[in-house]
Amino acid sequence: MARQCGRRKFLTYSCSTLAISLLLKACASYQLKTTQKNLNNSQSPTVFNPSTAGGSNQRIKIGILHSLGDTIWISEGSIVDAQNMAVEEINAAGGVLGKQIEAIVEDGASDWSTFAEKAKILIDSKQVSVVFGGGTSASRKALKPIFEQKEHMLWYPAQYEGQECSQDIFYTGATPNQQIEPAVDWLLANKGKQLFLVGSDYVFSRTANAIIKAQLKEKGGKAVGEYYLPLNHQEVSPIISNIQTMLPTGGAIFNTLSGKSNRAFFQQLNDAGLKADQYPVMSVSITEEEVHNIGLQHLQGHYATGNYFQTLDNPVNEKFVKAFKRRYGEKRVISDQMVAAYTAIYLWKQAVETAGTTENLEQVRQAVYGQTFESPGGLVRMETNHHLSKFVRIGQVQADGLFKIVYSTRSLVKPVPWNKFLSYTKQYACDWSDPTKGWKYQTTSS
């Protein structure tokens, strides 16, 4: 793929590093043709592969890169389903710039070195115009240096810990001020001043809890306990014991566990008699899909914070839910990350059409700024810090496995990638539309 040479060289900055395994998993890429005839109730991800009639110049290739199959992350296959639905809809409406989209799917296999290698394949060998992918902060940290070195474009759909602003990544999930911080405020107002913090032992939970502790200190609350579980571990009895010790008469729990650790945590919490009415849990990674996979009996009455819930009552969401179930089955449910991933493809499409090209990534990038889209979760707007302004919501798990929305902002919340509660970033912001500001600039001199 042709790319504009001599792009921005005026700004350099350090990027996060990961300890990446030397042994790469051999994960085969795949493309599955989806037609209305083979849609069923399976939760396996599918991809729309348009007709090759007319040659490759009639197609725009995009990359989709997530962990598929039996992974530790539960829901990334469903994210791919939502992305493919967006591709199908766009192609049915005439494509992009008069061309059909061809989605090339690669499997990151929950291995960060594999994510990096698959990104290189998509960019160098498959020559895709853009990549949509990553489902965790660890996968994003593995992808970030690849896209920055190659000056390519990644759209990342998951909520995350912030403290990052890359020129080569557009973030369509929530920043902490669009998920974590409003949830802490709500707990302080409705569930008491003491919180027990539980999370997975990696960058997202560690950073999220640092933000929460700083926020609690400023607002008169207190973290009475903090416990981390290695990724994908399910031995949670020490967490339960700590909660019982530190909150003997009950209290709120803030949960940033990832993947299958959530199943063990909620099951053992329930088995220990720590019910939602006395020990309400606020989660950032529990969605409608996790309720289904973990078990309603363990989650009913608990809370989650995000930007989208399937029960949202608006015409766009009603149409989206019906279309998704028609493609993939009436029993399927829809999550926040799925909507963020679906939205990303439409925002990219709009930007490409505004720029009039997929080849010149700098023109596409500039065209992304200010793009709006009426998503199933409501209006979103892409800001010059490469994050979305969006609505923030809190939901409570009901008897049908869906969420009753108990809190929603009345207007869009602007994204804040550099956190305002942490002393070392509270004075900073990001603005890629201004060469003198870029990834991190100081907003005050105090």
Clarify whether residues 317 and 214 are in a common domain: no
DSSP run (H or E) holding 378: strand 378-382
Does residue 3 sit within a domain? no
Predicted local distance difference test score (pLDDT) of residue 54: 32
Sheet architecture: strand order including 154-156: 100-107, 59-66, 131-133, 154-156, 169-171
Clarify whether residues 171 and 41 are in a common domain: yes
CA distance 136 to 208: 13
* Cα–Cα separations (whole angstroms), residue 372 to 216, 341, 353: 34, 15, 14
Predicted local distance difference test score (pLDDT) of residue 435: 87
Predicted local distance difference test score (pLDDT) of residue 359: 94
pLDDT at 8 over 50: no
Per-residue pLDDT band at 70 (split at 50, 70, 90): low
Predicted local distance difference test score (pLDDT) of residue 143: 98
Clarify whether residues 73 and 159 are in a common domain: yes
CA distance 269 to 298: 8
Clarify whether residues 259 and 209 are in a common domain: yes
Do 71 and 110 contact (CB within 8 A), yes or no?
yes
Q: What average pLDDT does the chain have?
A: 88
Chain centroid to Cα 31, Å, comes to: 23
Q: Where are the alpha helices (DSSP H) in 356-394?
A: 361-368
pLDDT at 14 over 50: no
pLDDT at 62 over 80: yes
Percent of the chain at pLDDT exceeding 70: 85
Q: pLDDT digit string (tens) for 16-44? A: 333 333 333 333 333 333 333 333 333 44
Vertex 184: Cα angle to 179 and 187 (nearest 5): 125
As a whole number, mean pLDDT of residues 110-123 equals 96
In this prediction the pTM is: 0.86
Domain stops at, among 261, 283, 305: 283
CA distance 174 to 285: 11
Does residue 157 sit within a domain? yes
Clarify whether residues 40 and 171 are in a common domain: yes
Structural domain count of the chain: 2
CA distance 221 to 252: 12
Which pair of structure tokens corresponds to residue 173? 């999930």
Site of tokens 């914070």: 305
As a whole number, mean pLDDT of residues 123-136 equals 96
Per-residue pLDDT band at 155 (split at 50, 70, 90): very high
Nearest Cα residue to 256 out of 292, 222, 206, 183: 206
pLDDT at 132 over 90: yes
Q: What is the CATH number of the domain that holds 324?
A: 3.40.50.2300
Question: 184 CB contacts (<8 Å, ≥6 apart)?
Answer: 195, 212, 215, 216, 219, 221, 254
As a whole number, mean pLDDT of residues 416-432 equals 96
Predicted local distance difference test score (pLDDT) of residue 370: 98
Does residue 27 sit within a domain? no
Clarify whether residues 166 and 199 are in a common domain: no
Predicted local distance difference test score (pLDDT) of residue 74: 56
Measured on CA atoms in the order 142, 146, 151, 157, is the torsion positive or negative?
negative
Clarify whether residues 273 and 345 are in a common domain: no
Q: pLDDT digit string (tens) for 348-380? A: 999 999 999 999 999 999 999 999 999 999 999
Q: pLDDT digit string (tens) for 168-194? A: 999 999 999 999 999 999 999 999 999
pLDDT at 256 over 70: yes
Predicted local distance difference test score (pLDDT) of residue 41: 36
Instruction: Provide the residue range defining the domain that includes 222.
Output: 180-283
Does residue 403 sit within a domain? no
Which pair of structure tokens corresponds to residue 272? 């220990």
Measured on CA atoms in the order 337, 339, 340, 341, is the torsion positive or negative?
positive
Nearest Cα residue to 3 out of 130, 100, 155: 130
